[in-house]
Amino acid sequence: MRSLLEVNNLEAGYGRVSVLKDISLKVEAGTIVTVIGPNGAGKTTLLNALAGLLDVGGGTVSLEGSDITRHDTEDRIYQGMGLVTEQRNLFSTMTVQDNLWLGAFSRRGRAGRDELVEEAYRLFPRLRERKLQTAGTLSGGERQMLALGRAFLARPRLLMLDEPSLGLAPLVVRDTLETVGRLRDQGISVLLVEQNARAALKVADYGYVLENGAISLQGPASDLLTNPAVAASYLGGSQDEARAAATTEQACS
């Protein structure tokens, strides 16, 4: 079966500065794949390269088997890619409702758009409660939810999210990543870039660890959560604690 997204031996960077080295990864349809890694590892660069915002120096990117390596961003969006950046790119002086309405551009006519926005409210009830509030006055978590709601309305096949938990309090991070899970339930596959490794691995199906522009480790998210090396570097525990957690996990399964 072919993957929704397949990246092979990707190289990319900024002018003569090379950042991504020989990146190969896949996103299967209906799954959440996370890329975790420290500051400066190249996570945002990876999403920008996949969205066609950077020239790639080598390798290939395919979406459902069709080679899009040289396609421009507009074309990639047309083919079903969506990107929510760290900035979330909302219209701060416009209401929640109007921000959503703009996201429903794929549907023609007022009735069609209203129907789509209604679907977003069903999926994210908090947005309905806030629909007349301007986006600039929302809390960080609500802003992120609005960004996800708007991305949902564009109906991408693959949604790429750059650090949705950035700047959010721990409880709000959990809420936000549960929302990402709801998008998957709606048939949207997700490539999730996160520094918050634990929260990301909890919601994801599969994970990659990116270090210094290269993939250093990959596996099912549940395996990475109990991997001692991942725990020591990214989950805030010692290798001994991680081994103990892995043993308990195995004993319970």
Ligand X SMILES: Nc1ncnc2c1ncn2[C@@H]1O[C@H](COP(=O)(O)OP(=O)(O)OP(=O)(O)O)[C@@H](O)[C@H]1O
Site residues (vs ligand X, CB under 6 A): 14, 17, 19, 37, 39-45, 195
Report the number of secondary-structure helices (H) and strands (E) in the chain: 11, 10
Q: Which one, of 113, 110, 112, 16, lies nearest residue 55 by Cα?
A: 16
Compare residues 43 and 150 and give the one whose CB is closer to ligand X: 43
What is the C-alpha separation between 139 and 153, in angstroms, rounded? Answer: 21
Q: To the nearest whole angstrom, how small is the minimum distance from the Cβ of residue 181 to ligand X?
A: 22
Compare residues 45 and 227 and give the one whose CB is closer to ligand X: 45
Q: To the nearest whole angstrom, how small is the minimum distance from the Cβ of residue 73 to ligand X?
A: 16
Compare residues 99 and 233 and give the one whose CB is closer to ligand X: 233
Q: To the nearest whole angstrom, how small is the minimum distance from the Cβ of residue 84 to ligand X?
A: 14
Q: Which one, of 119, 155, 124, 122, lies nearest residue 142 by Cα?
A: 124
Compare residues 127 and 209 and give the one whose CB is closer to ligand X: 209
**Long-range contact pairs involving 240-243 (C-beta distance under 8 Å, separation at least 24):** none
Taking a C-beta distance cutoff of 8 angstroms, is the pair 107, 152 a contact?
no
What are the φ/ψ torsions at residue 229 (nearest 5 degrees)?
A: -70, -40
Q: To the nearest whole angstrom, how small is the minimum distance from the Cβ of residue 22 to ligand X?
A: 15
Compare residues 3 and 196 and give the one whose CB is closer to ligand X: 196
Compare residues 116 and 210 and give the one whose CB is closer to ligand X: 210
Q: To the nearest whole angstrom, how small is the minimum distance from the Cβ of residue 248 to ligand X?
A: 31
Residue 100 token pair: 């959503």
Amino acid at 94: M
Q: To the nearest whole angstrom, how small is the minimum distance from the Cβ of residue 179 to ligand X?
A: 21
Hunting for tokens 């290798």 — which residue is that? 239
Residue 102, SS3 per DSSP: helix
Taking a C-beta distance cutoff of 8 angstroms, is the pair 4, 158 a contact?
yes
